[in-house]
Structure 1
Amino acid sequence: MQTIGTLLLDQEELRRVFGCYPSGVAALSALVGDQPVGMAVSSFTSVSIDPPLVSACMQANSATWPRLRDSGRLGVSVLAQGQDGICRSLSSKHGDRFAGVDWESSCNGAVFVHGATLWLDCSIYDELPAGDHTIALLEIHGAHASHDHEPLVFHASRFRELAAVDASRPSKET
């Protein structure tokens, strides 16, 4: 067995290291006034069953998060395979992020992207500072899942597709 010493990483190398782990992509969206406001996040995961919680991480200097935070309810749309253009639009720094995006809103102001594999109607449960990011814990009030769509996967700085694996095939693990 080989011992690995402490590795000093610069920010660019650390981004490449984090890129080794694939993630789904979610849109956090709400009506602000009568306009949809949203952002894409790739640091999104389930947290708890009781109470029902998920988490999302966003840059602490985000200009969008404060607008969403104050909206009351948030729509979380887990984007589906083929929605990489929507992800890019929701990640843009300029222009109308919802131009060309089909969406709908709930009566409480949560905004959901059509064609997503999962919709969650959420409110903020808690927020935690975490380095250069903010971790938002979101409480789930309602959900709709579409098992007909594969999720959008982000890995090694690009979008990927999931591949089915034959469960009867022997494992290559050693």
Structure 2
Amino acid sequence: MSGCPTRTPSVPGPVTPEALRATLGAFASGVVIVTAQGPDGPIGFTCQSFSSLSLDPPLVSFSPSRSSSSWPRIRAVGRFCVNVLAADQEQHSAGFARSGADKFAGVSWAPAPSGAPVLDGVGAWIDCTLWNEYDGGDHTIVAARVEALGADPQRLPLLFFRGGYHLTPREDA
């Protein structure tokens, strides 16, 4: 078959969390920050499990960890914004991945139509309402209805690949 690897895959062994992480790390993903405006102020967390789900109705999905302390607070609001990070926003990814800190300290943002924070300089934003949730093992699979959105075509995405951040091919050239 044309384009198939010429080497034989290794003999399968047990699927350990380490083996799964190492193998799936070969798939590059973007990085998003999910935000909401809670009763006590803005809430947010970093997530790299994000994707388009449906065009009709317009749905996206993401998968927060079951151990997330931010997702239950955002779920309670029911409206949130997915911020697609741009290539120069690695510091936001790290900052919003922390627990117990003021994640919005020094971060500029404006409200989306829902009131959820749209972080300044993101490549795109998707304002959503909670559609449904599904069991995803140690994560929750969230389906969200897209209510409003916008993108800056000049901003390149922040990519996560094999355990680290990488430049997009256009930046590498």
TM-score (normalised: structure 2):
0.89
Q: Which runs of 5+ in 2 are unaligned?
A: 1-5
Spell out the pairing of 1:7-86 with structure 2 (5 A cutoff): 7-86=13-92
Q: Residue 127 in 1 paired to residue 127 in 2? A: no
Q: Which runs of 5+ in 1 are unaligned?
A: 166-174
Shift of 1:13: 2.4
Pick one of 146, 152, 162 that aligns with 1:156: 162
More helix by share: 2
Determine if contact 1:71/1:109 at 8 Å carries over to the other structure.
Answer: no
Counterpart code for 1:20:
A
Pick one of 97, 113, 123 that aligns with 1:117: 123
Task: Give SS of 1:59's match.
Answer: coil
> Could you give the per-residue CA deviations for residues 76-108 of structure 1, whole angstroms, max 9, x where no partner exists?
110000100001000001311111211122353
Structure 1 runs (4+) greater than 3 angstroms displaced: 1-6
Determine if contact 1:45/1:56 at 8 Å carries over to the other structure.
Answer: yes
Counterpart code for 2:123:
T
Task: Give SS of 2:77's match.
Answer: coil
What is the rounded CA distance, in whole Å, between the counterparts of 1:40 and 1:33 in structure 2? 20
Determine if contact 1:39/1:91 at 8 Å carries over to the other structure.
Answer: yes
What is the rounded CA distance, in whole Å, between the counterparts of 1:48 and 1:7 in structure 2? 35
> Could you give the per-residue CA deviations for residues 54-78 of structure 1, whole angstroms, max 9, x where no partner exists?
1001111211110000112101110
Relative distance call for 1:32 and 1:18 in structure 2 (3 A) is same
Q: What percent of counterpart residues are identical? A: 33
CA RMSD of superposed structures (Å): 1.7
Counterpart code for 2:101:
G
TM-score (normalised: structure 1):
0.88
Matched positions, count:
165
